[in-house]
A and B are shown apart, each in its own frame.
Chain A
Amino acid sequence: MANEPFENNVDRALADAQLRKNFAFAMGNFILKRRAVFSDAEQTERLRTIGHAIKQRALSRLPELLEQLEAACTRNGIRVHWAETTAVGNRIVLEIIESHAAARVVKGKSMVSEEMHLNAFLANHGIEAIETDLGEFIIQLNGETPSHIIVPAIHKNKAQIAQIFHEKVAGAPYTEEVAELNAIARNTLRRKFYEAGIGLSGVNFAVAETGTLCLVENEGNGRMCTTVPPVHIAVMGLEKVVERLEDLPPLLRLLTGSATGQLVTTYVNLITSPRREGEKDGPQEVHLVILDNGRSRIYQDPQLRQTLQCVRCGTCLNHCPVYTRIGGHAYGFVYPGPIGKILTPQVEGLEKAGTLAFASSLCGACEEVCPVKIPIPALLRRLRDESYSSAPESSVPGRGCKQNWAERLAWKGWAFLNTHPRLNRLTTALLGLVGDYLPPAGPLERWMRYRSEPKFAPRSLHRRIREEGIADE
């Protein structure tokens, strides 16, 4: 759907009653769960302030922390790789797999690997990447992409999933019992964990101080991928690094509380090294691929840099009135919802993805719930401005792409009218008389398609003040 105009995607999503029902139910549920775990407003605010400070601190020292992380990991025996682009990241992963002559990779849930389109890349090189998170497993069977960054198959209901399993998993009966669907996935994937030569995962936090990779999950598939196969490859965006181990407790509380309304996930998995001398299990090799893909460019701008504070909890999706109505696929890119709207245009450029920044009512719900206080509405406005800007110092790719002569002329005319009082008085008086009878044509027609038409007062505010004065002055 990335190739289709965003508007078409939106129309299609809005017309899909089942999809809207699935999202309305799930998002409403997530909101209640989060509220239950963050019931004390003051305490939550304190926690968010700490989360914000930790991520700001980490970003302020980003280059040093990445070097420290690399040194600590290397000391621990984790091999660190750097990728400027997703293409290079994919290539690095492929080379590691090929060096072990592995044909199959078991994968834990990783949004960065989605960003890299790693599965398709590996498939083109004859390597099967098997998603093992239940939600990811479902959508992989059906050839889809995640529609939510935490619950990737949330756009599907039980009946749809039952049908997918029945059709795509050999020998699977048709059942809408969640426990049975779960058992089908367990049995299918156990064998894969057992056999796989490579396990691949994402990273939630990378601790520079100790060289520790922190992964959170509920299913145990992440632990399987990082413990059973002889080789573990972790991929992370370079913004995932934090300063100290002691930063983890508040961040974990914020992440899991915001994401799923849990106090703690079933598993918090801290990985500090490959198998050490004398240990009986665990991978013999651990690789960490640190991906840039535009992040170091985003980092150049002190305001936009705040995008990199994100911990990928997905709570901004859950609380977004736009996301709740159109779902994740309509956005056409890997990261949907409010975070996607600020991240994607900066990575892909404003020409390609700038429209996303306009698909918001700026209601502010995302900022209010963000565990690390990213001012998403302000960043959306900034990106909108960038679309029309000609400021040469900006680092946003595609800046000024929406500039056009008609708008420029209109704004020049507007400025002229408002800096020439006599002309201004004349036009406002004129609009007061005939403004309500303007024909809905041209840009006005587009504007009025989804909005009520502007109503002009017979007398302008200036005139009324002149004539009536200001009450209670």
Chain B
Amino acid sequence: MSDTARDRILERLRNAPRQEAPRPDAPASTAADPDRGARVGRLKSLLEAMRTEVHVLPAAEWIPRLREVLQARAIKTLLYAPETGLGAALAEARQQDAAGLPELVAYSETVESFKERIFAVDAAVTTAAGAVADTGALILRPTRAEPRLMSLVPPVHIAVLAAEAIHPSLSEAMQDGRWSADMPTNLLLISGPSKTADIELTLAFGVHGPKELIVFILDD
């Protein structure tokens, strides 16, 4: 007889009457696999319904559009990940022409020495690893280069997504990406800016997470 809580709990469970239950059938995949255009359209409309600003544009145009978006909001500091392709492109664009691009703050230290800075920046830009069309959500896989707090703490979160990474459903995203074989420290679905309805069910945006979510879908 074992004397740890763990063993006592497990033993009680093992001694209970067994009930067989078959593994459930996989959920039927979303009706007809919509084409890329339809996926982009559905994602865009669902995100917009959750008060997200969505720009669908060719890859070459996203940085010029970013300049406009940031300028319109008078963003002064932008947190970015210098080691990502996205970050490198942004830094290079700013070097060539700083117009409309604010001070870039590189997330290059650990949070212990960088926390104050993260809580003070105006906005952050990250990659979205993918998206789910049927429920309307971005998939974020924070990495060493692009840490977790970027999409959480700054009041404005800008995410850049490649249109070909939009999956019809979450199940398909999991299967195609073989998630179960390689789960990162943290994986997120994000469907809009932070919100609540805790007071009289009145929807209010920007509680604890970002007040604004802006998505660039690069579709060439």
Q: Which residues of A contact B (CB under 8 A)?
A: 22, 25-26, 29-30, 46-47, 50, 53-54, 56-57, 59-60, 62-63, 66-67, 70, 82-84, 88, 132-135, 138, 151-154, 156-158, 161, 178-179, 181-182, 185-186, 189-190, 193-194, 209-210, 212, 218-221, 223-224, 227-228, 238, 243-250, 252-253, 260, 263-276, 278-282, 290, 292, 296-297, 299-300, 302, 305
Question: Scoring B residues 15 to 27 as 1 if CB is less than 8 Å from chain A, else 0, what string do you get?
Answer: 1111111111111
Known: A189-B208, A219-B209, A245-B174. A299 touches B201 (CB 8 A): no
A271 vs B193: C-alpha distance in the bound complex, in angstroms?
Answer: 20
Task: Judge whether B13 and A299 touch: CB under 8 Å.
Answer: yes
Q: Which of B14, B119, B194 contacts A219 (CB 8 A)?
A: B194
Q: Which of A260, A266, A299 contacts B191 (CB 8 A)?
A: A266
A264 vs B132: C-alpha distance in the bound complex, in angstroms?
Answer: 10
Chain A residue contacts of B209, Cβ below 8 A: 219-220, 223-224, 266-267
A88 vs B9: C-alpha distance in the bound complex, in angstroms?
Answer: 13
Task: Judge whether B19 and A302 touch: CB under 8 Å.
Answer: yes
5 shortest interchain CB distances as A-B pairs: A220-B209, A53-B24, A135-B198, A268-B189, A281-B111
- CB B32 to nearest CB in A, in angstroms, measures 15
Main secondary structure, interface of A, reads helix
A181 vs B200: C-alpha distance in the bound complex, in angstroms?
Answer: 12
Q: Which of A53, A153, A276 contacts B185 (CB 8 A)?
A: A276
A156 vs B201: C-alpha distance in the bound complex, in angstroms?
Answer: 11
Task: Judge whether B4 and A224 touch: CB under 8 Å.
Answer: no
- CB B22 to nearest CB in A, in angstroms, measures 7
Total inter-chain residue pairs, C-beta < 8 Å: 243
Known: A59-B21, A275-B185, A281-B111. A134 touches B199 (CB 8 A): yes
Task: Judge whether A185 and B183 touch: CB under 8 Å.
Answer: no
Task: Judge whether A227 and B152 touch: CB under 8 Å.
Answer: yes
- CB B60 to nearest CB in A, in angstroms, measures 30
- CB B146 to nearest CB in A, in angstroms, measures 9
- CB B10 to nearest CB in A, in angstroms, measures 5
Task: Judge whether A82 and B183 touch: CB under 8 Å.
Answer: no
A246 vs B183: C-alpha distance in the bound complex, in angstroms?
Answer: 13
Known: A264-B137, A264-B191. A178 touches B50 (CB 8 A): no
Known: A60-B20, A178-B204, A245-B174. A227 touches B148 (CB 8 A): yes
Task: Judge whether A190 and B16 touch: CB under 8 Å.
Answer: no
In this complex, the member of B46, B152, B199 whose beta carbon has the largest number of chain A beta carbons within 10 angstroms is B199
- A sample of 14 cross-chain residue pairs with beta-carbon separation below 8 angstroms, ordered by A number, consists of A138-B199, A181-B199, A186-B206, A219-B196, A219-B209, A245-B174, A266-B194, A266-B195, A267-B189, A270-B188, A271-B185, A272-B187, A281-B149, A300-B12
